[in-house]
Amino acid sequence: MKFSANLGFLFADRPLPEAIHAAKAAGFDAVECHWPYAVPVAETRAALEETGLKMLGLNTSRGNTSIGENGLSALPGRQSDARVAIDEAFAYAVGLAAPAVHVMAGNTSGPRARQTFCENLAYACDVAGGAATILIEPLNPYNAPGYFLNSTEQAAGIIREVARPNLKLMFDFYHIQRIEGDVTRRFEDLLPLIGHVQIASVPDRGAPDHGELDYAFVLQCVRKLGWERPIGAEYLPEAGTPPDMAWLSKYKAL
- Cα Rg for the chain, rounded, in angstroms? 17
The CA-based dihedral angle spanning residues 83, 86, 92, 94, taken in that order and rounded to the nearest 10 degrees: -100
Is the Cβ–Cβ distance between 102 and 135 less than 8 Å? yes
Q: How many CA atoms lie within 13 A of 9 on its CB side?
A: 19
Residue 252 CA: distances (Å) to CA of 63, 169, 222, 246:
36, 23, 13, 11
Report, as residue numbers or ranges, the catalytic residues: 137, 234
3-state helix, strand, coil in the chain (%, to 5): 40, 15, 45
